[in-house]
Chain A
C-alpha cells in the first residue's frame, strides 16, 4: 500500500470520516450560550463558560474523571484565564455539542513516523493530515476521554473560551465605569480599578452576555498564576468520605438491581435456560434474555430487590450454553499462530509496511554482526476496581442512563439503538468512574442496562457485573508477537532494524462496537498494532517495520497505552540487547542514536543522572533503562531490582524523567507517573489472561495479581522544563516500565527475558 492510502486508512481508522469533509462549514470552537440548559442565577457567555450569580465560574466539563485528574486540570485552565481561584470553578457535565468532541485522540491514530511529527519540525504531509483530521474530528464531535488527550484538546479552545468570557466581563465593567480595560484589575473574580470602583463577575455577567468580547488574548506563560503551580485536586474530599458517586452508587426511587451472566465461553450463545429454581428465590423479580449487545456476548439478566438477591437467584439458573461454531478458543494455540505469522512475515517480507527506510534486506545481508529475537506479550484484562455497571430508566419513550463511561455520546447512541428512540430522547449522566483504562470506551454495559430497563415497567434498574463476569468478558489487550532483527556494519554501527509483528487490529473492532456507522474492515491497517515499534526515535539508516493483522477471535480493546503497552517492551528490550551485543553502556548506546532527537536525549540523560546511572547500585541490585514516547510525551525510566530469597523479583526504585510540554498540574503529573508505573509493574510481573477451552481462566483478583502496597517501589518523577503545548500524561509512563524491568533483570541475572509476564520466568 502506498503512503497516501495508508494515510487515508489511518485517518479514518477504517471509515467514513472523509465523507464530505470539503463542504464542512467553519465552526467556532467556543460554542453558543444557547447550548446550555437553562438555569436560574447563571448566565452563559459561551458554550464552555457560565457565570453564577455569586460570581463563581461554571465550566462545561466534557471529560470523564476516572482518576487521571482531568476535572482538576481543565478547571485549572479556566481558573487561569478567568482569574478565579480553583475552588470558584464549578463543573457541570457538558452536553453533546460538537465543540466538546475529541480531536487530538484522532490525530493520535494517524500512522505518522516520529520524524514527521516532531514538534517544530513537522512535515508538510503531517501538517496537512493533522489539519484535516482535526477538522473532521471537530465536525464529528465524538467525545472520548482517552488517548491521553484531554488536556491537549482543551488547551486551545477551553482557554480561549475562558479568556473570551473574561474579556466580555471586563468590557462591561469598562463601559459602566468609563475606564479603559487596560487599567482594570481582576483578582479572584473581583474586578476593580485603582480609583475605587469594584464589582464581581456575577454583577457583570448578564450584560456581558449581550456584549462583544473585544480583544482577546491568552495570558502569557510568564503571568500564569494557576497553570504549573501546586493545586489541590478538586475531587479529593468526596473521595475521602464516601460521598463521591460512582456508577454503582446511583440510587433512585424504585430502583431495582440486575445481575448478568454471559455465555462463559468466548463467542458462545444461549441454548436453553430453566428459570424455575431461580424465580423461587426470595427477592427475585424476573429473568431477561439478552442478545449480544455492544460487543458483549449473549447473556441472561436476573432482576431482584438488591444486587445480592439478583445474584443469589442467578446462581440457581439452569443454563445450557452453546459453543461457538468455530469451536472453543485457546490462547496457547493463538500465541503459537501469532509466532508462526511473525516468522512467516519475516521470511517472506509479508505484512502491512508501516515504516520503511533505506534497504533493510541488503543492510542485513551485508551486516558484520546480526541479532535476532522473538518477543511475546499475552492478553491482559483491565480490572477496573469498579466492575462494569450502568443504571437505566426507560419510560414514556425516553431513556435516561447513569453511567461511568469514557464515551457519553457513544453511550447515548448505543442506548438509542437498543431502545429504538432518537438519540435526543436519551439523557446520559456521567458519574465518577471507578477506573477506566480504556475498558469504559466500550458501550456493552450501557446497551445491556437499557435492554433490561425495557423490562422493568418504568422503574430504574442498576445492572452490575460480578467481578467474575468482568474478568471473563473484558475486551482484552491483544496478545502480540514480534520478530526483531538488527545488524551492525563493519564499523560497528547499528545499520538496520527490522520488525515483523502479528496480532489482531483493535481499533477497527472497537469502532464496529462503539460507532457501528463508521465501521470498516476489521483488519484494516491499525496504527495501534505497531505504535512504539514503527516510529523508533533512533537514527538507524535502514528499517522495515511491518505487521500482520490476524483474526484470533478474542474480544480485544483499548488497554491503557494501547499498542505501546507491548511494543515498548519489544522495542526497548531489543535495543538493550543491541547495546549489550555492541558492548556499549545501554544509556550511551541510546544517546549515540539520538543525534537528531535532543528532547529524547535530554529526558534520557535526566533519568540516568537522577538514578545514579554509572555508579554502582546498592548490593544485590541492578538497574535497567528504557526510553519511550507515546501520546506526545517522552518518558525515560530507570528501574532498580533485586531477587528475593524466594527468587522473586523485587522492584525497589523507579526513576522517571519526562517531557510532557507545559506541566499544567504538577502533582497530577507525579500522580499519573506513580499510577502508570504501578499499573505497568502489575502487568510486567504477573499480568496474563489465558483462554482454555474457550473460557478465560483468570476469574477474580486472586488469579490476576496486582501490585500491593508492600510491593510498591519508591517512584520519583522529574520533568524537563518545556514551553511546548501540553501532551498526554494518563498513559505515557506505563510503556517503559516492562522493558526497563526486563533490562534490569538481565543486568542482574544475565538472562534475557523476551516474554511477558516476567516474574514466572525468573523464579
Chain B
C-alpha cells in the first residue's frame, strides 16, 4: 500500500508488513524513521504521538490498515518549508528536553493543539498534553507552548494574507 507521510507518498512493502502492524513499528523498523518513540504500546504515554489528518494520535495502537488514504505527519515532518516549527524554537529557547525521549510525542501533541487553538489557556494545555515525561519537563512544556503560540500570532500579524 501507499502511505502519505510528511506530504510524500511512501510505498509500503506488503510483504514486509501486516495490516495489523501499528504505524509506530512501520515508521521505526520498516521506514527507519526513528523520531517517533515506543514507550508503552497501550496508548498510555504518548511517546509515539503523530498526526493523522491533522489530529494527534498514538501510533502504537494505530494499525496500518486504518491509514489508507490518510495523511500522516511525524516529528521528522514538523520542520516545515519555513524552517523549524515555532514550537521547536521555543523548545530550545526554554530548554524543555532533558533525556528527550518523550519530546517527539510531546511536540506533536503540542503542534496539534496549536493548530486547533491559537491561544491555549493553562486548562487547554492541561487537557491536550497528556503525554508522560519521566524527567519532569512539564513546567517548561507549558511555557514553551505559550511562547510558540505568541510567535505564531506574531507571524500571522506580519503576514495577514496567509
Query: Which residues of B lie under 8 Å from residue A437 when comparing CB positions?
Result: 134
Chain B, residue nearest A231 (CB): B95
Q: Which residues of B contact A233 (CB under 8 A)?
A: 95, 97
Q: Are A464 and B38 in contact (CB under 8 A)?
A: yes
Q: Which residue of B lies closest to A308 (CB)?
A: B25
Interface residues of A in 270-318 (CB under 8 A from B): 282-283, 305-309, 312
Are B101 and A435 interface neighbours, CB within 8 A? yes
Q: Is B35 an interface residue (CB 8 A)?
A: yes
Cβ of A122 under 8 Å from chain B = no
Q: Does B52 contact A (CB under 8 A)?
A: no
- Name A236-256 residues within 8 Å CB distance of B: 236-246, 248-249, 251
A69 to B136, CA, bound (A): 13
Chain A residues with CB below 8 A from B25, complex form: 306-308
A236 and B99 in contact (CB under 8 A), knowing A385-B45, A674-B136, A700-B42? no
- Does B9 count as interface, using CB distance less than 8 angstroms? no
B95–A674 touching, CB < 8 Å = no
Q: Which residues of B contact A368 (CB under 8 A)?
A: none
- Contact (Cβ within 8 A) B125 A709: yes
Which 8 A-B residue pairings sit nearest by Cβ, starting from the closest?
A242-B35, A678-B136, A434-B101, A239-B100, A67-B99, A67-B98, A306-B29, A710-B126
- Given the complex of chains A and B, what is the CA–CA distance between A66 and B135 in angstroms? 9
> Is B160 positioned at the interface, with any CB of A under 8 Å from its CB?
no
A432: chain B residues within 8 A (beta carbon): 99-101
Q: Which residues of A contact B21 (CB under 8 A)?
A: 306, 308-309
Q: Which residues of B contact A312 (CB under 8 A)?
A: 18, 20
Is B141 close to A, CB under 8 A?
yes
Find A305's partner among B16, B45, B84, B97 (CB 8 Å cutoff). Answer: B16
Report B-chain residues with C-beta under 8 Å of the C-beta of A242.
33-36, 74-76, 78, 104
Q: Is the CB of A236 within 8 A of B92?
A: yes
A-contact 0/1 string along B126-154, CB 8 Å cutoff: 11011111111111111000000000000
Query: Any chain B CB within 8 A of the CB of A383?
Result: yes
B92→A385 contact, CB < 8 A? no
Closest A-chain residue to B21, C-beta based? A308
A residues near B44, Cβ cutoff 8 Å? 700-702
Chain A window 426-449, contacts with chain B (Cβ cutoff 8 Å), 1 for yes, 0 for no: 000000111111000000000000
Assess whether A466 is interfacial by the CB under 8 Å rule.
yes
Complex CA gap A385/B99 in Å reads 9
- Chain B residue numbers with a CB within 8 Å of A386 are 37, 39, 99, 101
A399 at the interface (CB under 8 A from B): no
State whether the Cβ of A257 lies closer than 8 Å to any Cβ in chain B.
Answer: yes
Chain B min CB distance to A336 (Å): 31
Chain B residues in 8 Å Cβ range of A707 = 136, 138
> Nearest CB to that of A248 among chain B residues?
B38
For B100, the chain A residues whose CB sits under 8 A away are 67, 235, 238-240, 244, 246, 432, 434
**B132's contact among A249, A466, A674, A706, by CB below 8 Å, is which?**
A706
List chain A residues, Cβ under 8 A from B35: 241-243
Task: Check B79 for interface membership: any CB of A closer than 8 A.
Answer: yes
Bound-state Cα–Cα, A464 to B60, Å: 15
**Contact indicator A249/B136 (Cβ below 8 Å):** no
Assess the A671–B133 pair: CB atoms within 8 A.
no
Minimum CB–CB distance for B133 against chain A, Å: 7
User: CB distance A387 to B38 under 8 Å?
Assistant: yes
Question: Nearest Cβ in chain A — how far from B80, in angstroms?
Answer: 12
Is the CB–CB distance between B134 and A240 below 8 Å? no
Q: Is B30 close to A, CB under 8 A?
A: yes
A432-B99, A701-B132, A712-B139 known; A282-B18 Cβ under 8 A: yes
Q: Residue A702 contacts which of B16, B20, B42 (CB distance < 8 angstroms)?
A: B42
Give the residue among A235, A257, A306, A387 with the most B Cβ atoms within 10 A.
A306
Name the distance in Å between B28's Cβ and chain A's nearest Cβ: 7
Which of A's residues lie within 8 Å of B, judged by CB?
65-69, 232-233, 235-246, 248-249, 251, 257, 282-283, 305-309, 312, 383-387, 432-437, 464, 466-467, 667, 671, 674-679, 700-702, 706-710, 712, 714-715
- Contact check: which of B33, B88, B96, B99 meets A66 at CB < 8 Å? B99
In the bound complex, do residue A675 and residue B98 qualify as a contact, i.e. CB atoms below 8 Å apart?
Answer: yes
Determine whether B11 belongs to the interface, using a CB cutoff of 8 Å to chain A: no
A701 to B125, CA, bound (A): 21
CA distance A299 to B37 in the complex (A): 25
On chain A, the residues within 8 Å of B95 by CB distance are 232-233, 236, 667, 671
Chain A residues closer than 8 Å to B139, beta-carbon distance: 674, 712, 714-715
* Residues of B close to A467: CB separation below 8 A: 39-42
Chain A residue at smallest Cβ distance from B131: A709
A240 x B138 contact (CB < 8 A): no
Picked from B30, B47, B131, the residue with its CB within 8 Å of the CB of A306 is B30
Decide if A700 touches B40 in the complex (CB within 8 Å). yes
Q: Which interface residue of B88, B92, B135, B142 has the most chain A CB atoms within 10 A?
A: B135
Contacts of A69 in B (CB 8 A): 98
Give the shortest distance, in Å, between A705 (CB) and chain B (any CB).
9
Min Cβ gap B22→A in Å is: 7
A282: chain B residues at CB < 8 Å are: 18
Which residues of chain A are near B88, meaning CB under 8 Å? Answer: 237, 240-241
Residue from B78, B100, B133 whose CB has the most chain A CB atoms within 10 Å = B100
Taking CB atoms, residues of chain A closer than 8 Å to B22 are: 308
What are 25 inter-chain pairs, A to B, with CB distance below 8 A?
A: A239-B103, A241-B78, A242-B33, A242-B74, A244-B100, A248-B34, A248-B37, A306-B30, A307-B38, A308-B18, A309-B18, A309-B21, A434-B102, A437-B134, A467-B41, A667-B95, A675-B98, A679-B135, A700-B40, A700-B41, A701-B132, A708-B130, A709-B130, A709-B133, A712-B136
* Cβ-based interface call for B107 (8 A): yes
**Chain B contacts for A702, CB-based, 8 A:** 42, 44
A26 vs B44: C-alpha distance when bound (angstroms): 54
The CA-CA distance from A700 to B100 in the complex, in Å, is: 20
Residue of B nearest to A257 (CB): B29
Q: Which of B34, B98, B101, B132 is in CB contact (< 8 Å) with A671? A: B98
Residues of the A chain whose Cβ atoms lie less than 8 Å from the Cβ of B134:
383-385, 435, 437, 679, 706
Query: Which of these, B40, B45, B91, B138, contacts A709 with CB under 8 Å?
Result: B138
Closest B residue by C-beta to A673:
B136
Q: How far is the CA of A410 from the CA of B39 in the complex (A)?
A: 26
B32 interface residue, CB < 8 Å from A? yes
Q: Considering the complex, give the chain A residue whose CB is closest to the CB of B84.
A: A241
**Nearest Cβ on chain A to B59's Cβ, whole angstroms:** 12
Rounded to whole Å, the gap between the CB of B81 and the closest CB of chain A is 15
Cross-chain contact A435 with B92 (CB below 8 angstroms):
no
Q: How far is the CA of A435 from the CA of B20 in the complex (A)?
A: 30
Contact at B127–A710, with CB atoms within 8 Å? Answer: yes
Proximity bits, B36-78, A CB within 8 Å = 1, else 0: 1111111011010000000000000000000000000011101
Q: Which residues of A contact B78 (CB under 8 A)?
A: 241-242
The residue that B136 contacts in the complex, of A245, A308, A677, A714, with Cβ under 8 A, is A677
CB-based contact A708/B45 at 8 Å: no
**Which A residues are CB-close (under 8 A) to B140?**
671, 674
